[in-house]
Structure 1
């Protein structure tokens, strides 16, 4: 097949939902190209066009024209419930609440030959506009499994990576985590935040007491470099119980697992379905659970090392190389 991936961005979403699967399909003999701008040549000759959350006016006009012409199979790719963006994501909420954008989204989903999503909840949401839906979970490149597990050290690193869109999720966990980190029991723990997390988001702010124990790194643009930058011994994945988060994927926990990093995650939505509680990580059901899990995994005689190995084994079943056939089957014309 000749497949064009019309990515919405060059970040994580564009990588996992378009570039990574199409690059893998190319290794299987298909002709593929991923870009944020569609070349005229590919518009005219592609067998399949994968459009990621197409909703701006110009791209929408082009998408609707392609639908009328019917020369290529149109696959609308979406990995978030964009009609229910939480207000804490100010830019995203403001953008996707615009009537024209919302109408474009639903119109473009409706005329697609297929819609691809990450989980059953999102499939149910978009099926109201188009019954032809394929669930294609997020996968990681197998090369991640070859990266070294963060080495053991006297001082352990507790970490999180992500964008400012996770503000509502951190508001669920910031206070209990911060309270634990300033206690004497956590004096051997450092924190590493990668991305756009800012302590001033939180109403409870003892973070300054950590002094040199807290490290911040800017977002890493190249995804393989980001994978290599995950140097945590314990990974954090808070998630607020909200309808928007029901459509999220467990990609953060999967990334951690591929590096052999046990995760402490909210017992909600995608993490509840992915994390094997007590084996590959810990699921937190109440606020006090964050401190309890940090204490358990940071103890010298705790289960962290065993969880590290089990997490990597779980990740081995979630590589794109082992699951590219799912994308190939869904995109076949």
Structure 2
């Protein structure tokens, strides 16, 4: 793997300020890419590109790989990256993006790998060789534990995501306040790289996202939420939050947007919630019934192992290189 940005630049790229460091980090990224082009690409049979070779500017590097070096590109994306992210348009890096390059890279690619049918349909406008390659999890070495729902502590409802997806929680705050007013005793945890704005919700706990403790933090949850605003950007989502919860035996409540309805089966491994009433009804059932949480959690884990694990999708992924 050859990431464009260093770990230090990733730490600041979406934070306010640090303009000089961001510019230097991006310039360093282009130097790293030049090194890869000159030393590694000439020896490769395939070049696997996730999202883009560089997060800013036109697809110069991709053109060089496809046309100058005549290499077979496997192009992979798991978001509607040909659109502007509604939550990210004012960030430093978003002003330098070149969304229209997605279609161009699809044209040059040997094959295109997309996370869901919505993304596939877009890619097929430019390339007939498109494979749906869903987001997969390592259920043997990473997401390999089950949340024990039998503990008698107060239930924890949770959500995880980046600061750019905090907007999707707007529909959930009234639901949580309503349940709290009804007398339900629970904690709501937000695992994120940025603290949400105060929502006048009792027992709201913020957990700063850290790679080293990600699984441990998720295992604190009894129920996981994945609300989504229904817009073109969100329809490209590949249900990653729900997949993470479910892999750990945590039932998921999701909006009927993007790939969510393919992953979650109503009443079997979670609940699909569109209205405030449906969110409240699903959460009431799970808060009231520890055994139901266990039952849905086990079914959720089986769904991931059977359909969205690295092992179950191995052949589908390797078909990209045939």
Q: Compute the TM-score of the two structures, normalised by the length of structure 1.
A: 0.78
Superposition deviation, residue 102 in structure 1: 2.7
Of 184, 207, 214, 1:226 maps to: 214
For the residue of structure 1 that corresponds to 2:42, the secondary structure is helix
Matched, 1:292 2:294: no
Which residue of 2 is the match for residue 141 of structure 1? 138
Structure 2 distance, partners of 1:60, 1:169, is 31
CA deviation after TM superposition for structure 1 residue 184, in Å: 4.9
Is the aligned partner of 1:125 residue 2:101? no
2:67 matched to 1:79?
no
The answer to whether the aligner puts 1:312 opposite 2:274 as a matched pair is: no
Give the 3 Å change call, closer, same or farther, for CA 271–197 of structure 1 in structure 2.
farther
Aligned-residue RMSD, C-alpha: 2.7
Aligned to 2:189: 192
CA shift at 1:88, angstroms?
A: 2.8
1:262 aligns with 2:251: yes
Query: Structure 1 residue 218: deviation in Å?
Result: 1.0
Distance 1:111 1:237 in 2: 34
Residue deviations 1:4-44, cap 9 Å, x none? x4546689xx9xxxxxxxxxxxxxxxxxxxxx856343212
Q: How far 1:95 sits from its partner (Å)?
A: 5.3
With structure 2 as the length reference, what TM-score do the two structures score? 0.81
Q: Counterpart of 1:45?
A: 43
Q: Secondary structure at the match of 2:47?
A: strand
**Shift, 1:157, TM fit:** 0.8
Counterpart-to-counterpart distance in 2, 1:214 and 1:57:
37
C-alpha displacement at 1:96, in angstroms?
A: 5.4
Aligned counterpart in structure 2 of residue 110 of structure 1, from 107, 110, 113 = 107
Q: 1:254-284: per-residue Cα shift (whole Å, max 9, x none)?
A: 1111111011111222111210111111111
Measured against aligned partners, the alpha-carbon deviations of 1:77-101 in whole angstroms (never above 9, x if no partner) come to 2111122234233346x85576x71
Pair 1:184–1:120, CA change in 2 (3 A): closer
Equivalent-residue separation in structure 2 for 1:58 and 1:285 (angstroms): 38
Q: Tell me the residue number matched to 1:161.
A: 160
Please give the alpha-carbon distance, in whole angstroms, between the structure 2 residues aligned to 1:125 and 1:8. 25
- 1:326 corresponds in structure 2 to 316
**C-alpha distance after superposition, 1:159-193 (max 9, x if no partner):** 1110112133212222222332x325312x11211
The answer to whether the 8 A contact 2:82-2:100 is kept is no
2:172/2:227 contact within 8 Å kept: yes
1: CA distance between counterparts of 2:6 and 2:221? Answer: 25
Could you say if the C-alpha distance between residues 61 and 236 of structure 1 is closer, same or farther in structure 2, counting changes exceeding 3 Å? Answer: same
Deviation, structure 1 residue 197: 5.5
**CA 1:237 to 1:229, structure 2 compared with 1: closer, same or farther past 3 Å?**
same
Q: 1:70 to 1:44 in 2, by over 3 A?
A: closer
> How many correspondences in the alignment?
292
- For structure 2, the residue ranges without an aligned partner over 5 or more in a row are 11-31
Greater per-residue helix proportion = 1
Q: Are the equivalent residues in 1 in contact too, given 2:246–2:304 (CA < 8 A)?
A: yes
User: Could you say if the C-alpha distance between residues 57 and 95 of structure 1 is closer, same or farther in structure 2, counting changes exceeding 3 Å?
Assistant: closer
The runs of 5 or more residues in structure 1 that have no matched partner are 15-35
